Amino acid sequence: MIWHILLERKGWNTVLHPLKITGTLADETRYNIYEFMLQNKRSFTVQEIADQFHIHPNVARLHLTKLSEINVVSAEFVKTGKGGRPGRVYRATAQGVALTFPKREESMLLHILLELTESLGLQALEKGKQIAYNHGYKEMEEKIKETKMTDSFEEKAAILTEQAALIGYVPSIEMLEEKTIIHFTIYNCPFRAQLSDHQKAVCALHEAYLQGQTDALFTEEHELIQTGSMLHECENCQYEIQVASFSRRLSTL
């Protein structure tokens, strides 16, 4: 069996040895640096990363070099405006990496299915949304059974956080008198490669999937609301889940 790791970037693929990427991201600090850069979509100097993670600049430079070697971080020289040689800055790449064992063509198949769905019109898209919803609901339902979750909000938030890490968003919780709001931003869209050709279909299906997960997790009164979208020139897709507060639910019993 041949194992492949593909770097999807600007329409071409580069095969990387699996040990190269897994070894690089296995380091906890290095992975945290990459996650931080992914969430903050801008360029960073070595010193900025060193200050953020309280490490020596030489250690920060080593981590950034390792990340650039597997192409999840890009490096370029920019003029400092203070004379002298240009300084190097680093930025998380948009595409990231896709791991396949062995090489598969799911991306191509997804493209074909999306094109088919759009060609069949609104009815096909609505059916696709229902399938996506059911998939999200069932997946979350199985996770709840696996963890033997009680009805506590803390456990629900923990499960949501765990699931969130798999597709690149970090939830934050805001407690209000009448409701609890869970905010999350998707920093690393798992369907980014398909957005240029099938934006509306991809976003509709993904939101239906998230709705299914939300409905399975929160049996109490709740609402999933999209507050920002890359379709509307936002840097990321942003959502919030508004859940009726525990004290309010008790008063209605």
- Mean pLDDT, rounded, for 30-54: 89
Mark whether 188 and 244 lie in a shared domain: yes
Q: How confident is the model at residue 227 (pLDDT cuts 50, 70, 90)?
A: confident
> What would the DSSP string read from start to end of 199-219?
HHHHHHHHHHHHHHHHHHH--
For the segment 110-137, what is each residue's pLDDT rounded down to a tens digit? 778 888 888 888 899 999 999 999 999 9
User: Contact at 8 Å (CB) between 53 and 33?
Assistant: yes
* Whether pLDDT at 245 is above 70: no
Q: How confident is the model at residue 1 (pLDDT cuts 50, 70, 90)?
A: very low
Q: How confident is the model at residue 60 (pLDDT cuts 50, 70, 90)?
A: very high
Task: Identify the CA nearest to 151 among candidates 250, 6, 242.
Answer: 250
The CATH number linked to 242 is: 3.30.1380
Mark whether 127 and 73 lie in a shared domain: no
* Whether pLDDT at 7 is above 80: no
**pLDDT at residue number 250:** 37
* 3-state SS record for 95-156: CCEEEECCCCCHHHHHHHHHHHHHHCCHHHHHHHHHHHHHHHHHHHHHHHHHHCCCCCHHHH
Mark whether 245 and 126 lie in a shared domain: yes
Q: How far apart, in whole angstroms, are the C-alpha atoms of residue 6 and residue 18?
A: 9
Q: How far apart, in whole angstroms, are the C-alpha atoms of residue 244 and residue 250?
A: 10
Mark whether 112 and 90 lie in a shared domain: no
The CATH number linked to 61 is: 1.10.10.10
Helix (H, G, I), strand (E, B) or coil at 243: strand
Its pTM stands at: 0.58
Number of domains forming the structure of the chain: 2
The residue among 46, 65, 100 that closes a domain is 100
**pLDDT at residue number 104:** 53
Q: Regarding predicted confidence, which is higher, 121 or 10? A: 121
Q: Which residues, 6+ apart, have CB-to-CB distance to 220 below 8 Å? A: 243, 244, 249
The residue among 46, 77, 100 that closes a domain is 100
Residues spanned by the domain of 152: 108-251
Q: How far apart, in whole angstroms, are the C-alpha atoms of residue 74 and residue 25?
A: 15
Q: How far apart, in whole angstroms, are the C-alpha atoms of residue 46 and residue 151?
A: 45
Mark whether 91 and 170 lie in a shared domain: no
* Whether pLDDT at 42 is above 70: yes
